[in-house]
Amino acid sequence: MATLTANADAAAWDKARHAFSRSILVDTPVASLAADLDVPPWPVKSPDETPASYIYLPYEQAVAALSARGLSPAQLGQLIAILNETAAFDEPFGDMTDLSALAAGGGDAGSPLRKNLSALGLPPEFPLHFSALSEGTLELCRLEKADTLGAFVDFAGRVSQAVIVGGDFRELLNAIAHRDEQTLARLLPFRPGARGLHLIEGLALEAARLDPAARAAVEADALAAPAATRARVARMAAWFPEQLDALRAESAAGAPPAMLVASLGDAALRPATAGLLQPHLPPPPAPPKPRPFWRRLLGLG
């Protein structure tokens, strides 16, 4: 970013803060906004460190607010970049041709976005916290009480054309609008070429969250997953009871976990996904006890 003079900084700050004051993201942590952009991390990671902490302040007071947090005046340049890049998405839902038409009807089952949910077999009640959406997007959705796929679509239908949203919020909305199965599979437990959501793909999203060391540990020992991951997997398994019952039946019939996850497109995630599934399967049958030597000698059963 080019070095700006004080006057240019003040002008750039006023332009950025006034534009961003119309955004629904004013109360989203700055660190979360930065995490979704190609910019350095914001140094203050606090739920109270939001654009609203700064954008209502003129240049001199904004610099003072930064200083009070132990940040240099130059940090205002990064904040301007974060605000501008977040707001750069001035056609809120990308290459959608007509947002108002797509979102018409809001929660009406006849709206185009709701129809696409139905066509794709995506249950409106599916909890977003089982998705691969970023924490910043999930936080925004929580603030708007959009905790499920259906509520997400309805929220999108309420968003004004003047409001700026981007990142994976935009990606998921566009994927639903255009039935983009590859993007859906990256963000939801969706299997391209098949309708609906799937437990195995959901476990794969959990496996993808793990760092390489944790993933390797789960591959070696099914009980080595972090406690938070085990809890999420248990809740997800409970959300797919029929699919879990079918997997348990296949396991009881002799199918090993590796076979149960063979449908995954990403082969690299199969071992860790099998490890996350293992604790929810019936234990393997005990090997038969050998007959005592004397019974074998006498030909007894």
The domain locations on the chain are: 8-87, 99-187, 199-280
Secondary structure letter of residue 269 according to DSSP: G
In whole angstroms, give the CA distance from residue 219 to residue 207: 10
CA–CA separation, 123 and 197 (whole Å): 8
Amino acid present at 32: S
Report the 10 Å Cβ neighbour count for 298: 8
Facing residues of 148 across strands?
127
Q: What is the rounded distance in angstroms from the CA atom of residue 171 to the CA atom of residue 183?
A: 7
Question: Which one is predicted more confidently, 279 or 159?
Answer: 279
Give mean pLDDT, residues 60-68.
Answer: 92
Which pTM was predicted? 0.62
pLDDT, greater one: 168 or 90 = 168
Q: What is the mean pLDDT of residues 248-276?
A: 94
CA distance 83 to 75: 13
Instruction: Kindly report the average pLDDT of the chain as a whole number.
Output: 83
Instruction: Tokens for 227, please give them.
Output: 């406690």
